[in-house]
């Protein structure tokens, strides 16, 4: 199993041929899961004392397992927040897997960490973070939010005597669902700040909420730079002023919207992020990295290391003066998940990233304009980034659901209904620069014919 044998040459060629073909992104009509019993029957006996051999296992994956998965990189995958990894990033992900890099500590993965840090520096420079800032790649936005808020709680405890009041974090209803989970994991209260009519948290609403929360002890405010449901960006600059005055940690969840930092047209929507104590971003969403690639960035990484660094006899040899990703989040073992992003940046150049982000924004705003002028369609909100919420006039909830299911089954697109202030509507999220404007136009025509 651990020795290279001649038959593995043929298997390696087959695997590389398949991976290369997938990286070319052929049009694929898969749009959902298969029946669990059907899948169980298809793979029965695959894991057995003798095994079935690599070619047979690859056949099962290609012909049965992959077709039961949704192609999140399809140009017409318009629901949730899709992915659109660059070809260079996808190809290099295979190299990362084959290299067996432990990227938790500098002494084991210095080369990989140095490259990851260069990619992180590019992101931090886009955000306006100081040269002393640092961060690390994590598995997703949930992990980034948890790491930031654990650091915020640790800082509060360092600076304050216990008051006896329960600790709390503040966020709007539009904040990512992971904030609820993180609050439960940390056993802190979650205070909801009322959003304005566009779904934004404002400085005024935050101040009013703080005044009404005297029975709790707030430690952090979580703002959104691109909410998942509507692409809303909170009043980052105004909220930063409130946090500076009150001593609260400001965390910006930019998991989706952080991609707009690279934009030449919409970067201003995220003004104020440079004043945050931390922000999270998911390059596997809108910076064209493969899953799973998120990042947490800190203005003061020493505070994060104080909260997260693991101590044990077997870790005494670790050099704490170097950049150790394991010290900046709740992980020790980690793959070098930032390397595919670094490789793609080095291969394609940062200008290509700006152009790709701008293309997605232009596509989304062109769709919004088409909706705005259509007699059977109506915008729910003016789009800020690349999420578009809209109504199909005359449809009830059954009509929305039926149309969504029909287009999904046909492999045309995935556009699932969502809700805005309790009302069902449709939502399109564009991050893929390969999305064809003609296909978007055909989608609107189909729902209005």
Q: What local confidence, expressed as pLDDT, does residue 312 receive?
A: 87
Per-residue model confidence as pLDDT tens digits over 382-430: 999 999 999 999 999 999 999 999 999 888 999 999 999 999 999 999 9
Q: What is the mean pLDDT of residues 228-237?
A: 98
Per-residue model confidence as pLDDT tens digits over 169-187: 999 999 999 999 999 999 9
Give CA–CA dist 39/223, Å, rounded: 41
User: What secondary structure, in 3-state letters, does 45-114 show?
Assistant: CCCCCCCCCHHHHHHHHHHHHHHHCCCCCCCCECCCCCCCCCHHHHHHHHHHHHHCCCCCCHHHHHHHHH
| Four-way CATH pick for 350-448: 3.90.1150.10, 3.20.20.60, 3.40.50.2300, 3.40.50.150 | 3.90.1150.10
Q: What is the mean pLDDT of residues 358-384?
A: 98
Closest CA to 171 of 130, 201, 199, 133: 201
Per-residue model confidence as pLDDT tens digits over 243-254: 999 999 999 999
Q: Which of 35-44, 56-65, 307-316, 371-380 has the lowest mean pLDDT?
A: 307-316
Q: What local confidence, expressed as pLDDT, does residue 25 receive?
A: 74
pTM of the model: 0.96
Per-residue model confidence as pLDDT tens digits over 111-148: 999 999 999 999 999 999 999 999 999 999 999 999 99
Q: What local confidence, expressed as pLDDT, does residue 20 receive?
A: 87
Q: What is the mean pLDDT of residues 255-264?
A: 98
pLDDT band at 319 (very low <50, low <70, confident <90, very high): confident
Per-residue model confidence as pLDDT tens digits over 150-167: 999 999 999 999 999 999
Q: What is the mean pLDDT of residues 272-299?
A: 98
Q: Are 25 and 73 in contact (CB under 8 A)?
A: yes
Q: Are 141 and 253 in contact (CB under 8 A)?
A: yes
* Residue 33 clears pLDDT 80, i.e. is over it: no
Fold equal for 94-348 and 350-448: no
Domain boundaries, the chain: 35-69, 94-348, 350-448
Length of the chain: 449
Token pair, residue 369, equals 């304009």
Q: What local confidence, expressed as pLDDT, does residue 52 receive?
A: 96
Give CA–CA dist 153/38, Å, rounded: 47
**Phi-psi label, residue 187: left if phi above 0, alpha if psi -120 to 50, beta otherwise:** left
Averaged pLDDT score across all residues of the chain: 95
Q: What local confidence, expressed as pLDDT, does residue 129 receive?
A: 98
* Residue 316 clears pLDDT 80, i.e. is over it: no
> Buried b vs exposed e over 51-64: b needs ≥16 C-beta within 10 Å?
eeeeeebeeeeeee
Fold of 94-348: 3.40.640
């Amino acid at each position: 199993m651990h020795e290279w044998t001649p038959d593995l040459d043929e298997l390696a060629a087959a695997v590389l041929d398949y991976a290369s073909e997938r990286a070319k992104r052929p049009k694929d009509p898969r749009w959902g899961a298969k029946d669990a019993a059907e899948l169980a029957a298809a793979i029965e006996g695959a894991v057995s004392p003798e095994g079935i051999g690599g070619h047979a296992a690859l056949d099962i994956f290609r012909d049965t397992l992959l077709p039961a998965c949704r192609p999140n990189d399809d140009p017409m995958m318009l629901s949730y927040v899709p992915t659109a990894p660059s070809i260079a990033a996808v190809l290099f992900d295979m190299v990362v897997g084959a290299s067996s890099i432990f990227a938790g500590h500098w002494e084991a993965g210095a080369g990989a960490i140095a490259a990851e840090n260069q990619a992180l520096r590019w992101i931090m420079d886009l955000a306006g973070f100081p040269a002393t800032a640092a961060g690390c790649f994590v598995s997703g936005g949930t992990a980034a939010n948890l790491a930031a808020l654990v650091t915020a709680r640790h800082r509060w405890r360092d600076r304050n005597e216990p008051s006896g009041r329960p600790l709390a974090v503040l966020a709007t209803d539009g904040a990512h669902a992971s904030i609820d989970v993180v609050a439960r994991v940390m056993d802190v209260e979650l205070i909801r700040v009322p959003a304005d009519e566009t779904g934004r948290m404002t400085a005024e609403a935050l101040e009013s909420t703080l005044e009404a929360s005297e029975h709790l002890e707030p430690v952090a405010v979580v703002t959104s730079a691109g909410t998942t449901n509507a692409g809303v960006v909170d009043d980052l600059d105004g909220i930063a002023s409130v946090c500076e005055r009150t001593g609260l940690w400001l965390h910006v969840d930019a998991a989706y919207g952080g991609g707009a930092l690279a934009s030449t047209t919409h970067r201003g929507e995220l003004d104020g992020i440079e004043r945050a104590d931390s922000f999270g971003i998911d390059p596997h969403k809108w910076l064209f990295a493969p899953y799973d690639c998120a990042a947490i960035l800190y203005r003061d990484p020493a505070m994060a290391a104080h909260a997260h660094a693991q101590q044990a006899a077997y870790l005494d040899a670790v050099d704490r003066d170097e950049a150790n990703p394991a010290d900046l989040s709740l992980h020790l073992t980690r793959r070098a998940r930032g390397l595919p992003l670094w490789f793609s940046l080095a291969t394609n150049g940062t200008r290509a990233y700006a152009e790709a982000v701008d293309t997605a924004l232009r596509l989304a705003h062109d769709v919004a304009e088409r909706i705005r002028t259509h007699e059977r369609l109506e915008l729910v909100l003016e789009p800020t980034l690349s999420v578009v919420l809209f109504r199909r006039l005359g449809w009830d909830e059954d009509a929305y659901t039926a149309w969504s299911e029909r287009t999904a089954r046909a492999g045309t697109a995935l556009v699932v209904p969502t809700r805005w202030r309790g009302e069902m509507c449709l939502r399109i999220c564009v991050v893929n620069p390969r999305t064809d404007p003609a296909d978007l136009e055909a989608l609107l025509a189909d729902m209005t014919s």
